[in-house]
Amino acid sequence: MGNKARTVGFQPGERNVFFHVLTACNLACSHCYINPDQHGTTRISRQDMIAWLELFHDTGKKTNVIFLGGEPTLHPDLVYGIVKAKDLGFTVTVDSNGYLFHDFLERVRPDQLDYLSFSLDGPDSGVNDPIRGEGVFEICTQNMRKAIRLGFHVSVIYTVSSRNIDHLERMIPLLTGIGVKRFFIQVIGLRGKSAVSDGSQGGRAEREPLQVSRKRWLSLVPAVAARAAEEGIHVTYPKVFLDEEEKFQCAGLVAENYFIFPNGRVYRCPLCEDHPLNAQCIDGGRLTACSGLTEADFFRLTIPEGCVMNKLLQPDTISYDRLGQAEFRISCCLLKQEISGKR
């Protein structure tokens, strides 16, 4: 038997900076969460990239910077930002769709980048490409292999939806074959494009819901994670449903996560990103609190269903018994479980 998954509690003294350096992308994934109406269409200037990284520099805290987009490697100054983030002592990750523009692997060294993450939503082109685009599987896996050959720490992010959950297990031989040691399983969120459509043509009635049921998630994801761990892969996946004895905690109150967009919006909760509810913004080079109703006003609300934003934005993810009591609580979307193998 392998190890048991453990819940990764929020770490005091640690901050995660999810830095969207631009919103442009060469792909058009059906579940893309980027929302140009809210996040703009600009890319951050080199000068602001450095200034904004410095804003989050605090020698008393362990800071993880995750460069995202859109596709972050489309930004010509990404490598410059990576080097600066490393100089500031941050742990640095780049989340890419696998295309690695601007000769990325030739311009950055493995010792300058802690993790290079590739998004892949299927174990073969037949599953991945209808979701992420024609030919994407081939390019993404080719670049993964190349990055591993060059000595980068490569991880893979798989966004589970009804379109690919049944193929999750087949990711294990793919990852072990390529040599990927870290696997992040995400759950589709009702944000951006996925909030309005699954990307298919046709009316609402013809569209298959993208979200998976609690039963399907719990019957498949933890078991696949455990099997991947037995193959020596470190797997992280969202908790989603709290166990009865587990305490609910909102990361907006107990953790330091910043989701930064090129238009200066800074969110503390990713579920709020489709709305002008950001608690903070970067204005004139300073991080300032926003006035009016913001996400911070919701973090303090206590409800039996757990996460208040989930209840507001995705009420159909919760079910109730005959007495109207919530049958389970939804955890903070940032609460993770992880499991590692023995190899």
Q: Does 252 bind ligand SF4 (CB under 6 A)?
A: yes
Q: How far apart are the first and last CA of the chain?
A: 13
Q: Are strands 256-260 and 234-238 parallel, antiparallel or unpaired?
A: unpaired
Q: Does 188 bind ligand SF4 (CB under 6 A)?
A: no
Q: Does 299 bind ligand SF4 (CB under 6 A)?
A: yes
Q: Does 189 bind ligand SF4 (CB under 6 A)?
A: no
Task: Give the span between the Cα atoms of 8 and 239, in whole angstroms.
Answer: 9
Task: Give the span between the Cα atoms of 174 and 181, in whole angstroms.
Answer: 11
Q: Does 250 bind ligand SF4 (CB under 6 A)?
A: yes
Region class of 91: left (phi > 0), else alpha (psi between -120 and 50), else beta: beta
Residue (39 or 182) nearer to ligand SF4, CB:
39
Residue (50 or 137) nearer to ligand SF4, CB:
137
User: Which one among 116, 127, 309, 318 touches ligand SF4, defined by CB under 6 A?
Assistant: 309
Q: Does 122 bind ligand SF4 (CB under 6 A)?
A: no
CA 2, 182, 194, 306 dihedral sign is positive
Residues counted in the chain: 343
Q: Are 112 and 153 in contact (CB under 8 A)?
A: no
Q: Does 318 bind ligand SF4 (CB under 6 A)?
A: no
Shortest Cβ 284–ligand SF4 spacing (Å): 27
By CB under 6 A, what part of segment 70-109 binds ligand SF4? 70-71, 97
Shortest Cβ 46–ligand SF4 spacing (Å): 21
Task: Give the span between the Cα atoms of 138 and 84, in whole angstroms.
Answer: 32
User: Which one among 3, 6, 7, 28 touches ligand SF4, defined by CB under 6 A?
Assistant: 28
Q: Are 143 and 118 in contact (CB under 8 A)?
A: yes
Q: Does 339 bind ligand SF4 (CB under 6 A)?
A: no
User: Which one among 168, 172, 266, 308 touches ligand SF4, defined by CB under 6 A?
Assistant: 308
Shortest Cβ 31–ligand SF4 spacing (Å): 7
Shortest Cβ 172–ligand SF4 spacing (Å): 23
> Measured between alpha carbons, how far is residue 49 from residues 65, 112, 261, 306 in Å?
12, 17, 11, 35
Q: Does 32 bind ligand SF4 (CB under 6 A)?
A: yes
Vertex 116, ends 52 and 265: CA angle to 5°? Answer: 30
Q: Does 332 bind ligand SF4 (CB under 6 A)?
A: yes
Question: Among the candidate windows 104-112, 217-225, 258-266, 301-309, which touches ligand SF4 by CB under 6 A?
Answer: 301-309
Question: Among the candidate windows 105-113, 221-229, 248-256, 276-284, which touches ligand SF4 by CB under 6 A?
Answer: 248-256
Give the binding-site size for ligand SF4 (rule: CB under 6 A). Answer: 25
Q: Which residue, among 274, 312, 195, has the nearest Cα to 37 in the 3D structure?
A: 274
Shortest Cβ 268–ligand SF4 spacing (Å): 6
**Binding stretches for ligand SF4 (CB under 6 A):** 25, 27-29, 32, 34, 69-71, 97, 119, 250-252, 269, 271, 298-299, 307-310, 332-334
